[in-house]
Structures are given as structure tokens and as C-alpha cells.
Chains A and B, each alone.
Chain A
């Protein structure tokens, strides 16, 4: 070790000692009105943060100075950036971690009194008591789900696909397999997962959710035990809406992007302005339209009700994307004798697959979180989506079972998390390539 390296461990040790001292000399926590208070606690926390930042940045600066004197500042800045980003991540993740902790907890309410024993953060209620960890809530929430034998195959295939995806991603990051290979594997695994999930979604029915009464009869399960059914309903509705949006809006986007015709501007304006109407305020009108078409309490009706807004927005995005693609490809195809429609299907669609995926995912994610329209058009509990089911935990009754709510929330978020992260490149990549213009 060079002599100039000595100050770094010294600096780090000093900072660590400072932080330890700040916490060790903190006054005992006082109970004040059912809260645990450390008087002037924020000064210590702030001090610790400053020491941490100073220590890390300072060490980085010193380290930089010994290696590359001119770039020392850059090193400090980088170290500071890392620290800041981790702080941001910690802040963002706190609610998520708390939710997970509540879901893995035996106790059922959020409003219990503070525990007596345990480390400070447990006694203060910052996080639930880890000693009461259990799978009780998940067991409760999944207890009424009965999987028909052939569906286990789909589940197995889906799990296999998911594991492959994760494994390949990790291997690619560790650079064990070349990038393009990894992409190929990921794509196949993604399709396998998607296919298995689609099969599951279509095949699961409300009849599989029951509890068995004392005399052996099947009693349909109550709403706080059927989160899997709600997830299935939501996946079905969101998936179909996404497919619908893609199917209908691509031709419209193409027309706007490539063709010039009288009334193009006006139609474009109509598309833009019509989508500004807060869709669900026409709730009563939509309801009567659906009941006239005999589509009340059906998923078809709900999907069609979503389609109006979905199509306008998707067409606009697709148009923007197409405008950034050179028309030379189609020209070449037309010169070779293809019709306009042929060029569209054989040239444009294949190269816009990333954008189509993006549109699908965007609509999927948007409809996943929509619930006012779903709440009105879907009446019975067997048709509820995740949002309605979760809301029923807090408004449909007087006593909120927070543990079951948390478990259901975690389960309800898993599909969209999985989809979001599997297609993260597609989702965020569109913004990167500048494909989305106003």
C-alpha cells in the first residue's frame, strides 16, 4: 500500500466512529403519546448522513488524488452520486418494504399498539416486528383457490419461463453469455411465460374458488379470499384491451403518418381532442350503451368501453414512431411490386414490433389500474378486478384486515411487476430512441 493511501482508511474510520458516537450517545427514546421519540433525533440523523457523505466523498477524492490528481473531483462526485442514488432508492422502497413486512406478519391490523421489546426501529413502529413473521396472511388469502390438475402444467411452464428469464438476465449481466444470445433466450423465455400465463388466464374460472363447508358442500369464497380470481380477471381485461388497442390503432397511425388526404388535419385534431374527455364521466351513457348491447357485466363490454381512449392515444404514438422511420423501405417494396397494404403488413409491422409491444404494454398497465369504469360495469364479485377487490377491503366493511390486504396487494402487484421488468427495455427504450414525439 502506498503511503498516500493511508489517509483513506483513517478518514473512513473517523467517519464511522463519528456516526457510531452520534447514535451511542443519543438519549433514550421517550414514549410520548403512544409514540417513541428520540429528542433532537433528526440532528443526529442529519449529522450521520453528512458524515457518511463526507466520508465517502472524501475517501473517493483522496483515492482519486493518489491515482489521477486531475480527476479527484470527478471521483468524489461519482461517489456522492452513488450515495445519493442509494438514498433515493431507500426512500422510494420504504413503503414497498413496509408492505412486504406487513404481509408476512401474523398480526392483522395496522393499528396495534407498539411492541415492548426489540430494537429501536421495531419499538418505534418503523417496521413491523420481525419475530412475528409468518406466511399466515398468504395462506389465508390463497386458501380458497383450488387449481384444476391440468392447470398445474401451465403454472409449471410459467415458472420455468420466469426462472429462465431471471437466470439469463443475471448471466448476461455477469457476462457469462454474449448479449445477443441472451436477448434471444430472453425473448423465447418471455414468449413461453406469456403463453403459459395467457393459457392460465383463459382457463381459470370462478368455480375454482370455494371453501368446503362442514357437510362437504362447496361454498363460494368470500371476496377477501379470491385475489387470484381478481388477478385473472384483470389480466384478461388488460390483455384484451392491449391487443385491441394494437390491432385497431396501427392502421390509423399508419394512415396519419404516411398518407396525405383531405381532412387529415381535422381528423387528427378530433383524435387528440376526443381523448381529452374524462372518459368515465360519460359513465351513465356508457352504461346504457352496454346494456343496450347486452354487454353489462361482461368483460367484452368493459374492454370496448376502454377502447375509445386507448385507440386515440395509441394511434398518436404510433404515428410519431412511423414518422421517424424512413419511407425508403416501403418505396423499395412498392417498386418491387407490393401493394400499399402489402408493404404495410410485410415491411412496417415487422419493424414496428418494439413499438407495438410498447403500445400493448402501455395500455395493459393503464387498464390494470383503472377501476371506476370497471366498478360500475362489472357487478358481481366473480367479475371484480384487482382494484375493486382491494378497495373492498377498506370500504366494504368496518374492519380492515390489513394483513390480508397487504398479502393481496403483493400478489396483485406481481403480474404487473413481472411484465414491467421483463419488458423494461421495450417500455423505457422507446423514450430512449426518441420514438415518442409529442
Chain B
């Protein structure tokens, strides 16, 4: 049975309304796009939607109480809240260097890490 999913393309401000028709996991047709960014986006969103993630973790001994961190690769969309909860369990201590790996192979993904987005000196 053919089902349809709707997406809004995020490639540019036009935001083409996309329709993706599928049968189970097989894509039948994608329509509504003005350029092929739309087609690519709809396909990705259907087969493996992912999101960039950044948040903060607690840091001790620095100027601010929080250290901005990010995941170095996009996280599965359905695991975003779980990812946030896991990251928020972290507590780090200054000094920290930009790019420092805080959690390796995050959520079981090889070579995707949680890293610091800035350096923070130790301040007493």
C-alpha cells in the first residue's frame, strides 16, 4: 500500500513542501521540489533522519558554569532526547581545550564523539 509523508525542505527559505510516497521502506516517488536539494533531503529524512546536536555540560572551575559541547556527527532524530540526557550526565573540570573529546564513540557510533566547542581556562 502506498503511503505518503510530508516534509518541508530546509535547503533554502522557499521551503518547498515535499511529498514522499513509499511502500513500506521503499520509496516510490518524491515530488514538490524545485531543485534536487529537495529530493536529497526528502530521501534522507525518510531513510535515516538525523540531527546536529549541541548542548552544554556542567564544568567546574571555569569562568562560566557550563561548557558548550557538540556531537561531531548528526544523531538519529529519534534518539535526540536520549542523547541530551546522556550528555547532561557529564561533569567536567577546567581546563578544557576546544575539540577535546569528552565522550568517545557516542551512542555506539564509531568515530562520532562529544567534543568541547571552546577552551575554558581554570579560574579559581
Determine if chain A interacts with chain B: no
Residues of B at the A interface (CB closer than 8 Å) are: none
